């Protein structure tokens, strides 16, 4: 297992944490957790506030391809692929790479990029409908924290099972009590979150041997 910042090329996101905290209540959280239209393309208080393809994942795709030495003909799975932006960009950056995605959001899959139609599966990260080691690499970005801890462990086991451990997972975390407080004001959908050490314990419990990094809001 190695800590590696494969999302380092993404532009910095500006967040109005105070507004999010003021707007947040049980109803908003419940709606966000449906991962439906309101989460993706509704007002910002429910999630993304409009999530459209703008090519920002291409540089990330390049870094992932270089890190794992991905080549045409290899198979990659993005667990929690949303609308399939990274799946599309992996194939643009490495023509011939066989990239696929899986997500629980029917809305996201029904509003995916044309280039990935037929490549995205509806399902849950803790029950991947694929044979053991059927992918050369598995990715999961900002998704596993949407489970309570026992199911997060199961999702990590699944990522390990389908990839043989050639994988990258990024999850919500924080390094200081101040960052934890900011995160708790901002968070809508995460069910489990922890300091890196807590996540590393969870990874070890699951038998995960792939790489990882943290999404930290500051
Ligand atoms: C913060 S978004 C990240 C999307 C994308 N990976 C990205 O980084 O832009 C969280 C994603 O997790 C998906 N998700 C939530 N629960 C899930 C589950 N049980 N199985 C698979 N995907 C899930 C959501 O639908 C959403 O696409």
Angle, CA 81 vertex, CA 76 and CA 86 arms, to 5°: 65
Helix (H) or strand (E) holding 58: helix 57-68
> What is the Å distance from ligand 1's center to 82 Cα?
6
Structure pTM? 0.98
Helix 57-68 / helix 85-93 crossing angle, nearest 10 deg: 60
Nearest Cα residue to atom 19 of ligand 1: 124
pLDDT of residue 13: 84
pLDDT of residue 67: 98
> What is the Å distance from ligand 1's center to 80 Cα?
4
Q: What is the pLDDT along the chain (218 residues), one digit of tens a residue?
A: 899 999 999 998 889 999 999 999 999 999 999 999 999 999 999 999 999 999 999 999 999 999 999 999 999 999 999 999 999 999 999 999 999 999 999 999 999 999 999 999 999 999 999 999 999 999 999 999 999 999 999 999 999 999 999 999 999 999 999 999 999 999 999 999 999 999 999 999 999 999 999 999 98
E strands, the chain, are: 75-79, 98-103, 120-122, 137-141, 167-172, 211-215
pLDDT of residue 218: 83
**What are the residues whose beta carbons fall under 8 Å from the beta carbon of 176, sequence distance 6 or more?**
none
**What are the residues whose beta carbons fall under 8 Å from the beta carbon of 168, sequence distance 6 or more?**
4, 6, 64, 67, 68, 137, 138, 139, 140, 141, 210, 211, 212, 213
pLDDT of residue 80: 98
- Taking CB atoms and a 6 Å cutoff, what residues make up the pocket around ligand 1? 35, 80, 82, 103-105, 108, 124-125, 141-143, 146
């Amino acid at each position: 297992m190695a800590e590696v910042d494969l999302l380092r090329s993404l532009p910095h996101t500006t967040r109005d944490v105070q507004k999010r905290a003021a707007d947040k209540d049980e109803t908003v959280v419940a709606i966000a957790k449906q991962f439906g239209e309101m989460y993706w393309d509704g007002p910002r208080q429910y999630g993304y506030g409009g999530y459209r393809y703008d090519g920002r994942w291409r540089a990330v795709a390049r870094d992932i391809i270089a890190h794992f030495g991905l080549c045409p003909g290899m198979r990659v799975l993005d667990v929690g692929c949303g609308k399939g932006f990274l799946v599309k960009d992996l194939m643009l950056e490495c023509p011939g790479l066989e990239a696929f995605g899986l997500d629980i959001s029917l809305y996201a899959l029904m509003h995916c990029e044309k280039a990935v139609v037929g490549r995205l599966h509806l399902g849950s990260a803790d029950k991947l409908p694929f044979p053991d080691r059927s992918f050369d690499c598995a990715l999961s970005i900002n998704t596993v924290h949407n489970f309570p801890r026992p199911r997060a462990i199961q999702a990590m086991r699944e990522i390990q099972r389908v990839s043989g451990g050639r994988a990258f997972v990024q999850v919500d975390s924080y390094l200081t009590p101040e960052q934890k407080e900011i995160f708790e004001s901002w968070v809508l959908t995460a069910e489990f979150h922890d300091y890196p050490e807590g996540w590393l314990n969870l990874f070890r419990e699951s038998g995960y041997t792939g790489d990882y990094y943290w999404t930290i809001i500051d």
